[in-house]
């Protein structure tokens, strides 16, 4: 729990925000069981807040096919993360149309999302919803809190290797299991969305759902097919491509991953 962040306040750490999960929630969450204009910014924002209750929530269960896509899915970021303290409007562009609201919680955990671009009082963030790479613009006003995570989780899918970096330096590396050829792990930038204590099947003590989804399964176990980082009881899976899309990690890797702040960037390459 001693992982360092840079902020006026520290982001909530995943390991400190573990939530209990019922069987139905686990089925819904985890696959591993098997150029911007600044014009008219203020008026658009005011209208968005008035109509916010009518917008769909950007959660792992949502799908926004027309959301802006991540323009640079392999790029690094500044490490800035935003804590969404109450529902905020998600725009197509700074001052543009509203297509969703980002709620203050995700799966019982506080919402922290990584910033991939900024324009004045606006930030483009990765969303936890389908399609993979979905983004949106939110205002960085008193409804959000800025912080910085110095960590990045880098998963080389082909090499089946996970590396955790702090300010660019590797602090841990492991051989991991990834998605099978028929259910590959999706690629692109995503983030640690939540931390959940697994109390049903007990295949992993903690599950770390990401803001990414299976490209094979539109639904899985009654849920949206959210991809996660998690442990596995049989070490034979490490180095193999045999999961339904999740990344299976050794116990010592999981212990480190659960100390990283929510919103920490994850590269699935």
How many domains does the chain divide into? 2
Residues 140 and 86 in one domain: yes
Q: What is the pLDDT of residue 166?
A: 98
Flag whether pLDDT at 25 surpasses 50: no
Q: What is the pLDDT of residue 223?
A: 78
Q: Does 246 qualify as catalytic in the annotation?
A: yes
The average pLDDT across 217-241 equals 92
Flag whether pLDDT at 248 surpasses 80: yes
Residues 131 and 226 in one domain: no
- Express each pLDDT in 61-98 by its tens digit: 999 999 999 999 999 999 999 999 999 999 999 999 99
Q: What is the pLDDT of residue 50?
A: 56
Q: Does 230 qualify as catalytic in the annotation?
A: yes
Catalytic residue among 45, 91, 246, 267: 246
Residues 133 and 170 in one domain: no
Say if pTM beats, i.e. exceeds, 0.75: yes
Residue 121 lies in a domain: yes
Domain that holds residue 118: 35-148
Q: What is the pLDDT of residue 125?
A: 98
Flag whether pLDDT at 38 surpasses 90: no
- Express each pLDDT in 259-268 by its tens digit: 999 999 999 9
Residues 44 and 139 in one domain: yes
- Express each pLDDT in 160-214 by its tens digit: 999 999 999 999 999 999 999 999 999 999 999 999 997 777 789 999 999 999 9
Catalytic residue among 13, 83, 230, 267: 230
Q: What is the pLDDT of residue 107?
A: 95
**Percent with pLDDT over 90 in the chain:** 74
Residue 7 lies in a domain: no
- Express each pLDDT in 127-165 by its tens digit: 999 999 999 999 998 789 999 999 999 999 999 999 999
Residues 174 and 110 in one domain: no
Residue 207 lies in a domain: yes
Q: What is the pLDDT of residue 53?
A: 84
Put residue 64 in one of left, alpha, beta given phi > 0 → left and psi -120 to 50 → alpha: beta
């Amino acid at each position: 729990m001693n992982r360092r962040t840079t902020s006026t306040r520290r982001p909530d750490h995943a390991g400190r925000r573990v939530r209990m999960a019922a069987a139905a929630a686990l089925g819904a969450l985890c696959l591993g069981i098997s150029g911007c204009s600044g014009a008219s910014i203020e008026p658009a924002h005011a209208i968005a807040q008035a109509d916010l209750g009518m917008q769909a929530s950007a959660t792992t269960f949502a799908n926004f096919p027309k959301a802006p896509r991540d323009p640079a899915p392999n790029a690094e970021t500044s490490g800035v993360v935003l804590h969404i303290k109450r529902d905020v409007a998600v725009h197509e562009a700074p001052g543009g149309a509203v297509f969703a609201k980002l709620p203050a919680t995700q799966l019982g955990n506080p919402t922290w999302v990584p910033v991939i671009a900024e324009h004045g009082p606006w930030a483009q963030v990765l969303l936890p919803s389908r399609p993979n790479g979905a983004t949106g613009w939110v205002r960085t006003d008193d409804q959000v809190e800025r912080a910085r995570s110095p960590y990045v989780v880098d998963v080389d899918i082909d090499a089946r290797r996970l590396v955790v970096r702090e300010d660019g330096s590797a602090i841990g590396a492991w051989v991991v299991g990834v998605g099978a050829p028929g259910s590959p792990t999706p690629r692109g930038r995503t983030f640690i969305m939540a931390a959940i204590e697994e109390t049903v099947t007990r295949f992993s003590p903690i599950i770390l759902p990401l803001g990414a989804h299976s490209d094979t399964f539109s639904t899985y176990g009654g849920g949206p097919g959210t991809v996660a980082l998690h442990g596995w009881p049989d070490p034979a899976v490490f180095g193999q491509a045999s999961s339904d899309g999740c990344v299976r990690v050794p116990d010592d890797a999981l212990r480190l991953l659960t100390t990283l702040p929510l919103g920490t960037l994850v590269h699935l390459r």
